[in-house]
Structure 1
Amino acid sequence: MSDDDYGTVQHGSSPDEPPIDWFVTKRHGHSADSTRRQIRLRVDFFRRWLNDELSWVIYNEDDEHEIAEKRNKWREEVIQHESEVNWTTGGDLRPENLSIDEAHNYFQALSACPRYGGGSEVSHVKAIRQFYEFTLNRGHSWFTSTGNPIELALNEGGDKIIGSKSSRNPEIISVDEMGEYIRSFSHPLFESLTALMAKTTIRRGVTHNLDLQDVYLDHPACDWKVHRELRHKDRPFIYISSKPEEGKLWEERQRVPKSSNKTSVDRTIPIDNELCDLLLRWLVIHPGPLESNTPLFVSLFRNWGERIHAQTLQKKLREHSEDLGYWYEPYDDDNINPHYFRHWSTSVIDQRLEAAGAGGHSTTTKLIRGDEEDTMDNYTHWSDDRVKRYLQVCPKFYD
């Protein structure tokens, strides 16, 4: 079938444009100008994704001029192409041939785009779902036998990729099982990183963007200048900014785009002795200088010495979970992936504080999680008794 053969339709006149353009013209020709602009934006992203032409990805075949242009436009938000990551398709994928798995890959590309958040991702998917719905309703000859791959992908867990607010209900494994999971990495980087998430409820995005200035370990070798919110602490704490992606300092430190704590509450969280020891063990082999603006976690693999990226952690945890039998199928709530730790830690700490049956989280758990509506700026209110209680219930993995 040649590119200038636009197919036929059972209902209405046959299109004289490629299906995507035909959809924009026919379905939104009478829409408001602002709506048409938004639809064009969303279908253009889809079109670029189909052809592997995403402007924020550096591809292997890009020349020096193209790479310089992309770095100039996206700065540190530009992402190096990796064949294992599903923000690309291999190029030249036609919309009428889109499979359900490829639709999931499209969702992954949207979620990885540094320009978009959850609401934008949902709007993009809604527009492309409408495109397939329109072609099917019109009886377009290229689409009549394929079904709506976007709709089908959403029904198979894709809604969890694009920022759906649907609740998750993962199986919470025991503390002993989590301890075995963490210890079996047998590597200081991933042992300390996963233990940090399992003890503190913090999201994956926080781990990528912590600098040494955000960590006070109360150890003679850790003499870097800490953040002002930690300078008066008399025991180990970490500090998590509410808006780490803002300001010149963020750009200078080359932090990972869109990796923030997703709250507007600044937090400090106590570090127990076990986690302190794990972090010190990691810092012994940390390849960078132990200075305030040094990233806490860096890659020891492909991008050696650079701030660890979300995809690196995602891939490593999936491989580890598959090896240990904690990976079931794509988008299963019981998979141990980076976000699993937030649910696990919240559940364990709440249960140990006897809050699980009270219809909500304990005050201490809300403080750790950064639940704004409940804690506001209470991150400063770590009384000695509250710190002591948290350290008592904080799960231990190396006893």
Structure 2
Amino acid sequence: MSDDDSIAYFLEDIEYHGRNERTIDAYRRVLRSFESFLEVRFDTSPSEAGYRDCMAFVHDLRTEYTESTVASYASYLNRFYGYLVRVGRHDENPMELVLEEMNESIESNPSRRDISLPEMRSFVGTIRHPLHRAIVLTFLKTGIRSGELCNLDLIDLNLDHDAQTWRPRAQITEKPETLYVSSEHSHGAESNGTVRQASNKRKRETTVPIDDELKTALIRWLAVRPGSQSSSEPLFTGTVERWGQRLTIDTVHHTVERYTRAYGWLRTGGGAAENVTPHYFRHFFTTHLRDRTGDRGVVKYLRGDVASDVIDTYTHNWNDRVRETYLENIYSLT
């Protein structure tokens, strides 16, 4: 699906859902304007745009429109990216964070959900299914994105346990209890023998420590993981639909949202300030680990947000800096 097609398909989708022609024209005007803005300003496209690109567009809108109009146009982009996530064209909705920040700046009493560690522990305690528990704990313990989680292969995991029957990739062979997140996987491109359906948006590969809680959850999942016919051997595979096949972003989102809805953390019509989604778990990881460590650099490294010169420093000081800092400060969720 090209970028031009993604907008066209989205407009067709909202038409099928009963939007009138006037509303569809409004969406079309805003989305085409966004598309042109990205091409001229950043030489990029809607399917490749991230948080900063979206925020720059919103800032540009403020030079011409009232705050209420800007909020309306931002909601158009949010729905558009929600659609791209559902169809697997984008691994996360960059407008969710933009809207969170807009809400914080506009509302005198922002309603953004603030979940404490005890509350999150209680939520995690409701998840019994080995796959679902492993997915949620991987999100909460690593800050990984949905697409990056789906792209994980068995070789990206190194566990000091008999459950490991494979040889980890060279980058982590000497680093037990480690998860490797590649920066090379791109949507539509072949990697490790598989055409990827999601992109990893890291500036460079990241090695993330695994604590005892996450290790336990992964071992329990591996004990029941269906065999896969894929040569790449995905870490997370389907257990009902798509048996033994790599999980998709859509499946992961539906799985998480099933639990958050049942727990009262998600409702239809609720916005980014209210609903708890996989992207919120990344925010939770960032906020709580940063507050506990006081080290933004380490947290940015673990999120995959830092450039080569900084990341090299952390990688060379793995045991002395990143790993020790992480294991000393990572929160307990079970």
TM-score (norm 2): 0.71
The amino acid of 1:263's aligned partner reads R
- The answer to whether the 8 A contact 1:287-1:305 is kept is yes
Paired position in structure 1 for 2:328? 392
- The answer to whether the 8 A contact 2:228-2:244 is kept is no
- What are the equivalent positions in structure 2 for 1:110-259 lying under 5 Å apart? 116-118=47-49, 153-156=72-75, 158-159=77-78, 161=81, 163-164=94-95, 166=98, 168=101, 170-233=112-175, 235-245=176-186, 249-250=190-191, 252-257=193-198, 259=199
**What is the deviation of 1:202?**
1.3
- The answer to whether the 8 A contact 1:364-1:386 is kept is yes
Does 1:320 find its partner at 2:269? Answer: no
**What is the deviation of 1:203?**
1.2
Which segment drifts farther, 243-252 or 206-215? 243-252
**What is the deviation of 1:389?**
3.1
- What are the equivalent positions in structure 2 for 1:93-112 lying under 5 Å apart? 95-96=21-22, 98=24
The amino acid of 2:170's aligned partner reads R
How many angstroms apart in 1 are the aligned matches of 2:20 and 2:162?
Answer: 60
**What is the deviation of 1:190?**
1.2
- CA separation of 1:197 and 1:48: change in aligned 2, threshold 3 A: closer
Which of residues 290, 306, 317 in structure 2 aligns to 1:381? 317
RMSD across aligned C-alpha pairs, in angstroms?
A: 3.9
Bigger radius of gyration among the two: 1
Post-superposition Cα deviations, 1:134-168, rounded to whole Å, max 9, x if no partner, equal xxxxxxxxxxxxxxxx9775354744746347364
**What is the deviation of 1:369?**
1.4
Post-superposition Cα deviations, 1:291-320, rounded to whole Å, max 9, x if no partner, equal 982101112232222111111121222222
Relative to its length, the structure with more helix (as a share) is: 2
Does 1:338 find its partner at 2:278? Answer: yes
The amino acid of 1:90's aligned partner reads Y
Structure 2: gaps of 5 or more residues: 36-44, 62-68, 82-92, 105-111
**What is the deviation of 1:386?**
4.2
**What is the deviation of 1:99?**
9.8
- Count of residues in correspondence between the two structures: 284
- CA separation of 1:198 and 1:91: change in aligned 2, threshold 3 A: closer
SS at match of 1:305: coil
The amino acid of 1:390's aligned partner reads Y
**What is the deviation of 1:380?**
4.1
SS at match of 1:244: coil
SS at match of 2:275: coil
Paired position in structure 2 for 1:26? none
Paired position in structure 2 for 1:288? 227
Paired position in structure 1 for 2:88? none
- CA separation of 1:154 and 1:210: change in aligned 2, threshold 3 A: same
Which of residues 363, 366, 382 in structure 1 aligns to 2:297? 363
- The answer to whether the 8 A contact 2:163-2:223 is kept is no
**What is the deviation of 1:275?**
0.6
Structure 1: gaps of 5 or more residues: 1-40, 53-87, 130-149, 356-360
- CA separation of 1:180 and 1:281: change in aligned 2, threshold 3 A: same
How many angstroms apart in 1 are the aligned matches of 2:23 and 2:117?
Answer: 46
Paired position in structure 2 for 1:275? 214
**What is the deviation of 1:280?**
0.5
- CA separation of 1:330 and 1:393: change in aligned 2, threshold 3 A: same
Which segment drifts farther, 292-301 or 196-205? 292-301
TM-score (norm 1): 0.60
